[in-house]
């Protein structure tokens, strides 16, 4: 089935040839069965498997098989899982589309004219197409959550470090803004089962840098009433009608199950996205990104735009930003962020600001008595192919919780209706280029899935999954 579906949607990078033999060996083994005994698991290409390439969508890493499985793969095999294929990612693995010069473009199973999102787009497409039950993705700005939202599946971004990163193919020196590994699946229980199977002593032995926190089943299965905050808009973007309606549906179903749901406002969302998240992504002015693309065909349209600006001398980028400021002030700020930090002192001051901001969020939650927050995943649904390059500002809802380092998961809630599509026509036309592009990328989206984002305090992934499960189960009853 995966091969047939791949011909339509192009989500596979590599089949793992030993998968069938591994499954047969499990059946014949007398060893105790693991939590994932015989379960086929797909892996984002980012995860390293012994004997196979991990390309990051770049030609320089082709024909460079890895000598060892990463810790996540070792634990999955220990639990009896059968890793059977690796899935597609965008070039450099750093944005929310899914195309590269090696494997081409992955298409969304809900509509071939739409992106599946990224960077875990191949993984989301494989699960949405029915070719995989569960899989593993990674997330540094929404790379699990946006594809889950665009493809109508579930996924969770844990607190950084909850799941081991040891042995992965990553850009060196990543610590200012770190990626998180997390499972993706067709339903919440599948995602929770993957978390439970990974958070075991064997993983902590393989990677002593991972905190030894096993899965808290009591918290996941608890029925105690919760106090949950919600919001529709941050102060950076306004979601299209379908995304607002999805949050309203989630709020209604949570209330129907006895939870108290109250309005909540995120703290300094625009400032954190523009002046902190984007600046930390380009802390060195994009030099490491440009270096990684030397002698590479720059294939993906999102990367092409970034590279064109990054190749400009810093003085020209700054001049361009100044010239654009009167007409497009937000675009001007985005371009200035590509310059990175002025000095080590500047960077350290920003790091201190982030720590104070994280503390302020926690204080706000404590003051309001919040257990969780529900909000949009993005201000859009799956946009037309090519449009992620035109609406890079659409990451504010997800990137906020990467910067804060709160666990955040996605659960599908509804699909775009004819009324949503009609209401999009009167969607407020902000004088912001990326939002105008986003609106154009969302036209004629009837039937596409719409999810919501559920967020909890750091290291409380089980509670996050519990809120996701309550949304999922409540909608089944309605």
> Which residues belong to the active site?
44, 119, 143
CA dist 212 and 154 (Å) reads 25
Tokens of residue 264, six digits: 């909540």
Helix runs in 152-227, H state only: 188-198, 201-206, 217-221
CA 321, 429, 245, 373 dihedral sign is positive
Residue written as token pair 């596979």: 12
Residue written as token pair 């970034």: 306
Cross-strand pairs, 411: 452
Q: Which residues, at least 6 apart from 460, have a Cβ–Cβ distance to it below 8 Å?
A: 219, 407
User: How crowded is the C-beta side of 475, counted as CA atoms within 13 Å?
Assistant: 20
* Alpha-carbon separation of residue 118 from 19, 139, 465 (angstroms): 26, 9, 22
Pairing mode of beta strands 154-157, 104-105:
unpaired
DSSP letter for 383, please. P
Please report which helix (H) or strand (E) contains residue 43, including its range: strand 40-44
* Alpha-carbon separation of residue 105 from 11, 42, 177 (angstroms): 8, 18, 27
Tokens of residue 315, six digits: 């003085």
Helix runs in 282-313, H state only: 287-292, 301-310
Pairing mode of beta strands 449-456, 408-415:
antiparallel
φ/ψ (deg, to 5) at 138: -135, 160
Answer whether 381's CB lies under 8 Å from 442's CB.
yes
């Amino acid at each position: 089935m995966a091969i047939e579906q791949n011909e339509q949607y192009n989500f596979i990078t590599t089949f793992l040839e030993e998968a069938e033999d591994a499954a047969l060996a499990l059946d014949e083994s007398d060893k105790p069965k693991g939590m994932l005994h015989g379960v086929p698991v797909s892996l984002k290409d980012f995860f390293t498997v012994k004997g196979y390439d991990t390309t990051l969508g770049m030609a320089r890493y082709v024909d460079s098989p890895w000598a060892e499985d990463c810790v996540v793969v070792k634990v999955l095999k220990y639990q009896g899982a059968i890793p059977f294929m690796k899935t597609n990612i965008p070039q450099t693995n750093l944005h929310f589309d899914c195309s590269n010069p090696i494997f081409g473009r992955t298409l969304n199973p809900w509509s071939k004219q739409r992106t599946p999102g990224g960077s875990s787009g191949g993984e989301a497409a494989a699960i949405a197409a029915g070719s995989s039950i569960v899989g593993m993705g990674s997330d540094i700005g929404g790379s699990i959550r946006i594809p889950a939202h665009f493809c109508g599946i579930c996924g969770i971004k844990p607190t950084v470090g909850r799941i081991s990163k040891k042995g992965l193919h990553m850009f060196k020196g990543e610590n200012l803004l770190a990626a998180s590994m997390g499972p993706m699946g067709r339903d919440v229980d599948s995602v929770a089962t993957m978390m439970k199977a990974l958070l075991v002593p064997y993983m902590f032995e393989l990677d002593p840098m991972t905190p030894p926190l096993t899965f808290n089943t009591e918290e996941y299965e608890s029925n105690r009433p919760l106090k949950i905050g919600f919001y529709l808009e941050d102060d950076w973007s306004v979601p299209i009608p379908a995304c607002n309606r999805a949050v309203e549906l989630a709020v209604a179903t949570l209330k129907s199950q006895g939870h108290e749901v109250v309005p909540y406002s995120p703290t300094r969302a625009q400032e954190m996205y523009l002046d902190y998240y984007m600046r930390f992504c380009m802390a060195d002015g994009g030099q490491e990104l440009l270096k990684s693309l030397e002698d590479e065909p720059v294939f993906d349209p999102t990367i092409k735009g970034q590279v064109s600006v990054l190749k400009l001398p810093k003085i020209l980028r700054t001049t361009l930003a100044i010239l654009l400021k009167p007409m497009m002030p937000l675009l001007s700020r985005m371009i200035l962020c590509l310059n990175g930090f002025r000095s080590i002192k500047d960077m350290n001051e920003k790091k201190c600001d982030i720590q104070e901001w994280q503390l302020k969020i926690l204080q706000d939650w404590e003051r309001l008595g919040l257990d969780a927050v529900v909000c949009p995943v993005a201000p859009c649904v799956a946009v037309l192919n090519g449009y992620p390059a035109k609406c890079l500002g659409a990451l504010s809802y997800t990137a906020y919780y990467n910067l804060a380092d709160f666990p955040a998961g996605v659960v599908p809630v509804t699909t775009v209706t004819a009324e949503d599509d009609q209401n999009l026509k009167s969607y407020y036309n902000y004088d912001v280029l990326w939002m105008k592009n986003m609106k154009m990328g969302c036209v004629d989206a009837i039937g596409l899935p719409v999810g919501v984002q559920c967020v909890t305090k750091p290291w409380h992934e089980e509670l996050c999954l519990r809120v996701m499960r309550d949304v999922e189960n409540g909608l089944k009853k309605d």
